[in-house]
Each structure stands twice: as structure tokens, then as C-alpha cells.
Amino acid sequence: MGRRGGGPMIAPALSVAGVSHAYGTRKALDDVTLTVEQGQFTALLGLNGAGKTTLLSLVTRLFDTRTGSISVLGNRIDRDPGAALRQLGVVFQARTLDLDLSVKDNLLFHAALHGIGGREARQRMLQVLEDVSLANRKGDKARLLSGGQMRRVEIARALLHRPRLLVLDEPTVGLDVESKLAIVTHVRTLVRQHGVAVLWTTHLLDEIEPSDNVVILHQGKRMAAGLLSDVVAQTGANSLRGAFASLTGSRDAPA
Ligand code: ATP
């Protein structure tokens, strides 16, 4: 729990405490602790194999957390998964739309899973599609959309139940510059205007802004966490690229 300005205790949007995970004998996460405060954009940075997807799989309960604990808005995901998952929106790395359903039905199906139906579901479906400028495509089968448009529908879907925390696993991989910019801009607007907390997983340093919080994962270990400027200062580097390279031992920091 965090305290802001002496006010009441405010639960972080996401709290990961001492989490480890292994696939057989391969350790993918080693005692990872991180916090995303409410209304904050946090970038989770790491090279291939750092453990980013594994961490998101634990947060979204695809895997059970056996060591350590994870809470969403103060709700432990193992003890009160319903309350935790109601506050959580997820955009997975792999495409998860049903390509043979219309855009509209993909969203209405998700709404129904969250117990939202009827007129309320239709209103929310239209609203979230308008927010990603795709309301005019609601009748189209998902397979007719471009990769960038599908991603935007996935983000719209993740927001239908109005979660306070949105986690995205490398959401811009494989997209062209324009689609990428549309997605980054939309998600940052959600943070600034609606106070949604975001955990944005990436290996692309150019998606990160100076005022962001960053967490750097490397080979399953948290190498640094905090405001970008603090993380850079701690390493004695003069840029995030330099800090990332020194923390991960990578000579070629990602783009
Ligand atoms: P990428 O950027 O490539 O997606 P990542 O940071 O998301 O990488 P993970 O996918 O979490 O990393 O992988 C962390 C480690 O766990 C790697 O060593 C990977 O080989 C291993 N791993 C991931 N998934 C499995 C699995 N299902 N079975 C066995 N090992 C796995």
C-alpha cells in the first residue's frame, strides 16, 4: 500500500512481491518485486527471454504464482481472483480476436464474460470502438482488419469492463510506424485523461518517455526500477539506452 500526500492509504494498481517462476529447471523469474501506482505508466523492459511474458502470465493467472504474491488494486490474485481480474484489462502478445466473428461480436462476447449484457454492452462496445476510431468497422469480420486495427480492437476490448489496470505485452510488435503511434498515443491518453494504470512490456526504448517509470528485467531478475531519470542516474549512464546496455550487458541496446 502507498500513501499519497498524507491522505488515505491507496493500494497500488499492481503489486508484485518476491515472485519467482521456473519451467522445470529453467528459472524464468527470480524474486521479482515491482509496483505500478494507480494512474501511472510503467514500461517493463527486457531483451528476449528476460521473463516479461512469464510475469504477465502470472499477473493474468494463466499460471499459478507459487512463490511470492501479486495483487491488483489491493486484491490478491490467488485469494480473490474475481475482484483482481475485474480491475484488470489484458492485451496479449499473440492475437486473440476470433477472426470469424464481427468486431462487434468479439466485443459483446467479452462483455458477456464480464456479466455485461443488453443495451449497456452495446453502448460500451460503440464507445470503446469510437475511442480507437474503429466504430465504422464494427460489422466487419475481424479477419478483414489490418494488424494495427486488430490490435486497436484488442485494446478496446480490454477496456470494455473499465479496468483500473491495463497490461500489454509488446503491443506494437510487427506494426507499421503509423499504427504504432496510434496505439502508443491512445494508451497514453488513457493514463493522462482517465487515470488508468498501465504496464507496457516492450524491448523498444523509443516507446518510453522521460517521465515514465521503468522496470528493467534481465534473465529473470529485476535489474532496476523507478523513474527513468533515476534509473539512468543510478547506472552512471547518460541515456536509457546506455543504462539498459550496462544493466543487461548487451552491447546492442534495442531500438
Ligand atoms: P520475449 O521478449 O522473447 O517475448 P520474454 O521477456 O517475454 O521474452 P519469457 O517468454 O517470459 O521472456 O521467457 C523467459 C524464459 O523462460 C526464457 O528462458 C524462455 O526460454 C523460458 N520459457 C518461456 N516460456 C516457456 C515455456 N512454456 N516452457 C519452458 N520455458 C519457457
How remote is the CA of residue 54 from the centroid of ligand 1, in Å?
6
Residue with CA at minimum distance from ligand 1 atom 3: 48
For residues 241 and 205, give the distance between their C-alpha atoms in angstroms, rounded to a whole number.
7
List, in sequence order, the alpha helices (H) in the chain.
52-59, 81-86, 103-113, 118-131, 147-159, 177-194, 228-235, 240-248
User: Pairing mode, if any, of strands 41-45 and 213-218?
Assistant: parallel
For residue 59, the model assigns a pLDDT of 95
What pLDDT is recorded for position 250?
77
Residue 108's pLDDT is: 97
Q: What is the pTM of this model?
A: 0.91
How high is the pLDDT of residue 6? Answer: 56
Position 111 scores a pLDDT of 96
Domain boundaries, the chain: 2-87+163-248, 97-162
CATH number of 2-87+163-248: 3.40.50.300
Report the nearest atom of ligand 1 relative to the CA of 54: 11
* Vertex 217 angle, CA 212 and 223, to 5°: 85
For ligand 1, atom 23, the nearest C-alpha belongs to: 54
Q: Backbone phi, then psi, for 133, in 5-degree steps? A: 60, 40
Q: What is the pLDDT of residue 206?
A: 85
Closest-CA residue, ligand 1 atom 17, reads 49
Shortest-distance atom of ligand 1 to CA 46: 6
> Residue 136: is it exposed, middle or buried by C-beta count within 10 angstroms (0-12/13-18/19+)?
exposed
Atom of ligand 1 nearest to the CA of 24: 29
**Residue 46 Cα to ligand 1 middle (Å):** 11
CA of 184 relative to ligand 1 center, distance in Å: 24
Pocket of ligand 1 (CB under 6 A): 23, 26, 28, 46, 48-54, 203
Mean pLDDT for each 10-residue chunk of the chain (255 residues)? 59 97 95 96 93 94 92 96 94 92 97 94 96 94 94 94 95 86 91 95 88 94 94 90 89 55
CA gap 147, 248 in Å, rounded: 31
**Could you tell me if residue 202 is left (phi over 0), alpha (psi between -120 and 50 degrees) or otherwise beta?**
beta
At 254 the pLDDT is 55
Nearest-atom index, ligand 1, CA of 57: 11
CA of 221 to the centre of ligand 1 (A): 13
The phi and psi torsions of 181 (rounded to 5 degrees) equal -65, -40
CA–CA gap between residue 239 and residue 231 (Å, rounded) = 9
Q: What is the spatial distance between Cα 81 and Cα 91, in angstroms, rounded to a whole number?
A: 18
CA atoms within 13 A on the CB side of 238: 0
Mutate to test the pocket of ligand 1, among 20, 34, 53 (most ligand atoms within 8 A of CB): 53
